[in-house]
């Protein structure tokens, strides 16, 4: 046994990365654009939830503008549940 810390020793949220998101690669054939869209939608929803659905704050978290967030909300049909 070594003193080295391995990836397996870390909590899963850290293993997945800072956002806790990881791309899904599944055996079914899902178009690349759809996968990217699904990932982008999840990023936006997560940011909105962290920002208590304040679009300006969500945009800051994602390093983009409020107008882009507003456009993507409409594009993906994102609604507060």
* DSSP H or E segment with residue 57: helix 55-62
Lowest-confidence range among 6-10, 17-21, 24-28, 33-37? 17-21
pLDDT(76) > 80: yes
CA distance 32 to 25: 10
Q: Give this prediction's pTM.
A: 0.66
Going along the chain from its start, the domains and CATH numbers come out as: 32-81 (1.10.10.60)
Cα–chain center distance at 35 = 12
pLDDT at 23: 59
Share of the chain above pLDDT 70, in %: 73
């Amino acid at each position: 046994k070594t003193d080295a810390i391995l990836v397996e020793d870390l909590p899963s949220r850290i293993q997945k990365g800072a956002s806790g998101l990881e791309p899904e690669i599944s055996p079914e054939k899902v178009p690349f654009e759809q996968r990217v869209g699904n990932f982008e939608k999840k990023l936006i929803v997560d940011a909105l939830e962290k920002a208590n659905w304040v679009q300006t704050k969500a945009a800051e978290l994602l390093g983009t503008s409020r107008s882009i967030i507003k456009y993507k909300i409409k594009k993906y049909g994102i609604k507060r549940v």
